[in-house]
Amino acid sequence: MTQRPTGPAVDPTPKPLPARVPHHGRSVALEPLAVPHVAELWQAAAAGTPRGDESWDYLGYGPFATEAALRSFVGGFATTHDPMAWAIRPHASGTADGWLTLMDIQPGNAAIELGNIWFGPRMQRSRAATEAMFLLMDHAMTALGYRRLLWKCNALNAPSRRAAARLGFTYEGELRAHMVVKGCRRDSSYFSILDEEWPARRQAILAWLDDANFDAEGRARAPLRQG
């Protein structure tokens, strides 16, 4: 009797849960998100288009009308373990200018998601933004040994789709009418990096982040390309 295929065998040992600890890079530090970050985050949100409203377009929360409203949100958001949030402190500004999370944490399946990414307007498209994402990607895949790293976004969010491709995520497809966000139907695009793909993706990002790739004004000499 022929046995039906069931997929490659893997080590079923659950992966470790991420810890709420700081992470440090060349251009940025990640700090466990906390209410004391709110004053700086509020200023970061204001440092662009009116109150930074466009940066919230595809998130399930924000923009916040007042600093008190942001504080109330962060007070709850900072205490959850899934998603687990970090504030982003670029060395260039010295202030908390955004946040991001690890979420949908599945130790038994060795799967984890990078998401809830909010960059204040002055931080967008910066070296610090790329390194902030890389620090959590590397923590999940290298330090904790997860097998699957997920990225999902609103299918209409072209900048997020470009960011996923730039970081080396593979497009998997869309879930139609996946959820309702701010009263609108959301189709979600899914992307992933697998453990066997990660070493090459990691090396490409590290090469882009290297100090030699940046001029005296902090501009990248070469773009980040994968594969």
Name the one residue in this structure whose structure tokens are 């202030």: 95
Q: Which value, to the nearest 10 degrees, does the dihedral of the CA atoms of residues 221, 26, 150, 114 take?
A: -120
Which strands, in side-by-side order, build the sheet including 148-154? 23-24, 28-32, 84-90, 98-106, 111-119, 148-154, 184-194, 170-181
Give the model's pLDDT for residue 167.
98
Q: What is the mean pLDDT of the chain?
A: 95
| Token reading at 111 | 């799967």
Q: How many residues does the chain have?
A: 227
pLDDT above 90 coverage of the chain, percent: 89
Angle between helix 198-209 and 127-138 (nearest 10): 150
Nearest to 131 by CA among 77, 191, 91: 91
pLDDT in tens, 158-168: 999 999 999 99
**Is pLDDT of 212 > 60?**
yes
pLDDT at position 54 is: 83
Is the Cβ–Cβ distance between 120 and 47 less than 8 Å? yes
pLDDT at 83 over 80: yes
Which of the two residues, 217 and 185, has the higher pLDDT score?
Answer: 185
Query: What's the topology of domain 23-213?
Result: Aminopeptidase (3.40.630)
Mean pLDDT of 70-76: 98
To the nearest whole percent, how much of the chain has pLDDT over 70?
97
* For residues 106-124, average pLDDT: 96
pLDDT at 110: 98
- For 159, the enclosing helix (H) or strand (E) is helix 158-167
Average confidence (pLDDT) over 183-200 = 98
Tens-digit pLDDT profile for residues 26-65: 999 999 999 999 999 999 998 755 555 789 999 999 999 9
Q: Where are the domains of the chain?
A: 23-213
Q: What is the pLDDT of residue 40?
A: 98
This prediction has a pTM of 0.95
User: What pLDDT does 1 receive?
Assistant: 60
Per DSSP, the three-state class of 175 is strand
